[in-house]
Amino acid sequence: MDDLQGKVAVITGAASGIGRGMAEAFADAGMRVVLSDLEVDALHATTAELRNAGADVHAVVADVSAPDDVTGLAEATLEKYGAVHVLCNNAGIYSGGRPSWDSTLDDWEWILGVNLMGVVHGHSIFLPIMIEQGEEAHIVNTASIAALLGGSSLYGATKAAVVALSETIHHELVGGGFKPRISVLCPGVVATNIFDAERNRPTRFPEAGPRPDGWDIDAARKEFALGTSPRAIGEQVVQAIHEERFYVLTHPEWKGHIEHRMKQILNGDNPTQLPPPTM
């Protein structure tokens, strides 16, 4: 997509983190943006801040794990702006720990509902609309560098599924001659509150598994606080949409780790992991 001016973007998980970073970058590109999240207060606060800065934004509360909510999000978008040109399936959570068998079925159902089925719902509800419009359009699915490395238990499993699904949809769109294009965003360490996802855990999934032995969540929060700014990620997403680039790898320091894993697959070697790169 060459020109984003006046185009309409929908972002899930937009109240904070990468979602908010994308909203800021899209607004600066002249887009009209629908912000969606299930955190009502945070969503309205972010919407007000962006609007006060001059952005044309609209807020819709939605839980992406509920297809009716995503349908409502699409209807609200069309009612407000009349079209949708960019969809960012960004809402995501971190749940579960290692060893993976200590994670509960509630952990699995919660994270699958948001990280994977949220993306599925976005595609199934929005993509037919985007195709029917007959205009240039783009989908951005937020996965993670963890999807390309392995060894990240529940979170990595859901994000790897997002990559596989995105690749399939890319082939379907290109092979079918449809105008929409798709990207998969695989960020590394970004300054978000990903480790505080439990604040939004539904009451229907009460049983949480233990955290890994020796894992210091406060240290993890501090490490991520020093990560790349969400706004910088948003700007990389804008560039990827312009270029119609499928893989959006925001942290090049991880490329050697991806290569290590790919070589093991091709050689039929048992998997091993490299230490993380220094920040």
With cut-offs at 50, 70 and 90, classify the pLDDT of residue 279: low
* Among 4, 2, 25, 87, residue whose Cα is nearest residue 250: 25
- Dihedrals φ, ψ of 210, to 5°? -75, 155
pTM recorded for the entire structure: 0.95
Quote the pLDDT of residue 217: 74
Least confident of 27-36, 134-143, 183-192, 195-204: 195-204
Tell me the residue type at 41.
D
How many other β-carbons are positioned within 10 Å of the β-carbon of residue 239?
Answer: 12
Which tens digit of pLDDT belongs to each residue from 206-263?
999 887 777 777 877 888 888 899 999 999 999 999 999 999 999 999 999 999 999 9
Which tens digit of pLDDT belongs to each residue from 92-143?
999 876 788 999 999 999 999 999 999 999 999 999 999 999 999 999 999 9
Tell me, rounded to whole angstroms, the distance of Cα 176 from its chain centroid: 25
With cut-offs at 50, 70 and 90, classify the pLDDT of residue 201: very high
Taking the C-alpha atoms of residue 107 and residue 210, their distance in angstroms, rounded to an integer, is 10
Tell me, rounded to whole angstroms, the distance of Cα 148 from its chain centroid: 15
Q: Given strand 56-61, what is the order of strands in its sheet?
A: 56-61, 32-37, 8-12, 86-89, 138-142, 181-185, 247-248
* Mean per-residue pLDDT of the chain: 95
Please report the domains of the chain, with CATH numbers, ordered by start residue.
Answer: 8-254 (3.40.50.720)
Catalytic residue, from 81, 94, 155, 247: name it: 155
Q: Which long-range contacts (CB under 8 A, 24 or more apart) does 174-179 make?
A: 178/131, 179/130, 179/131, 179/134, 179/135, 179/136, 179/137
Quote the pLDDT of residue 33: 98
Which tens digit of pLDDT belongs to each residue from 104-115?
999 999 999 999
Taking the C-alpha atoms of residue 175 and residue 243, their distance in angstroms, rounded to an integer, is 19
Asked if 155 is an active-site residue, the reply is yes
- Dihedrals φ, ψ of 63, to 5°? -105, 110
Confidence check: pLDDT of 57 > 70: yes
Quote the pLDDT of residue 77: 98
Torsion of CA 14, 15, 19, 23, to 10 degrees: 80
Taking the C-alpha atoms of residue 143 and residue 158, their distance in angstroms, rounded to an integer, is 8
